[in-house]
């Protein structure tokens, strides 16, 4: 059974915080789509991430100009809202994964984030 894009249930491909941190410093870094709210994003986000709250992602996806040949990583606070984001991105032909554990896991790992 195919789930609607917006349901935050099920399993999707994931990348753990340490692996994402390493990938961001590689020759082909992934594209980052942060699907949290604007206040959450301002509180702290990964450098280079674009803020697109999950409710606006379907309408704004085409305007993001994502490269379909590069990995896209969806980010939320706890890897809940990023599930439907990954499902939507994959439905549009992108190789999309979520940040395992979301920003909570990123912060627990002590990895850097930008504020503002």
The helix/strand/coil state of 33 is strand
Q: List the catalytic residue out of 76, 77, 85, 96.
A: 76
Indicate if 69 belongs to the active site: no
The helix/strand/coil state of 9 is coil
Say how many CA atoms lie within 13 Å of 82 toward its Cβ: 26
Q: Which residues are catalytic?
A: 76
């Amino acid at each position: 059974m195919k789930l609607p894009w917006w349901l935050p249930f099920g399993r999707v491909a994931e990348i753990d915080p340490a692996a994402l941190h390493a990938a961001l410093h590689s020759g082909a870094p992934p594209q980052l789509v942060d699907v949290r709210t604007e206040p959450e994003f301002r509180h702290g986000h990964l450098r280079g991430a674009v803020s697109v709250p999950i409710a606006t992602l379907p309408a704004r996806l085409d305007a993001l100009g994502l490269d379909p040949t590069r990995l896209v990583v969806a980010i939320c606070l706890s890897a809940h809202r990023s599930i439907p984001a990954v499902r939507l991105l994959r439905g549009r032909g992108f190789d999309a994964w979520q940040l395992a554990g979301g920003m909570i896991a990123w912060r627990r790992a002590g990895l850097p984030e930008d504020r503002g």
